[in-house]
Amino acid sequence: MCRFMVYKGKDEILLSDLILNPSHSILTQSFDSRLRLDRRRPHNGDGFGIGYYTSPSLGPEPCVFTSTIPAWNCINLSRIASKTTSSLIFAHVRATTEGNLSDSNCHPFSYRSLMFMHNGGIGCWKKIKRALAMSVDEQWFGVVGGSTDSEWAFALFLDCLDKAGISPDGDVVPGIGFGHTVLRQALLQTVGRINAFIAAVVGQEEDSRSLLNFAVTDGVSVVCTRYVSSKTDEAASLFFSSGTSWKEVEPCLNSGDEERERDYVMERRDKGSDIVLVASEPLTFERDNWVTVPTNSTLTISKQTVMIHPIIDEFYSSNPAHERTSAFAQAKGQTVTGADKRVLDGSKAPYFILRMENQISRYVQSSFPLTEEVVSEA
Question: Cα-Cα-Cα-Cα dihedral of 72, 76, 82, 83, to 10°?
Answer: -160
Check if 63 is active-site. Answer: no
What is the C-alpha separation between 262 and 24, in angstroms, rounded? 9
Q: Which amino acid is at 292?
A: T
Q: What DSSP element (H or E) covers 264?
A: strand 264-267
Sign of CA dihedral 4, 51, 153, 297: positive
Q: Which residues contact 152 (CB under 8 A, 6 or more apart)?
A: 122, 129, 132, 133, 144
Beta-bridge mates of residue 301: 222, 306
Q: Whole-angstrom Cα distance, residue 250 to residue 135?
A: 54
> Which one-letter DSSP state was computed for residue 216?
E
CA 16, CA 135: separation in Å to the nearest integer? 40
DSSP code per residue over 277-339: EEESS-SSS-GGG-EEPPSSEEEEEETTEEEEEE--STT----TT-EEESHHHHHTT---B-T
Contact between 312 and 229 (Cβ < 8 Å): no
Q: Is 368 strand, coil or helix?
A: coil
Q: How many secondary structure helices (H) and strands (E) does the chain include? A: 8, 18
Dihedral sign from CA coordinates of 210, 213, 218, 220: positive
The closest alpha carbon to 362, from 290, 295, 307, 309, belongs to 307
Pick the catalytic residue from 2, 74, 160, 224.
2
Which stretch of DSSP H or E encloses residue 180? helix 180-201
* DSSP letter (8 states) at residue 25: -
Kindly list the catalytic residues. 2
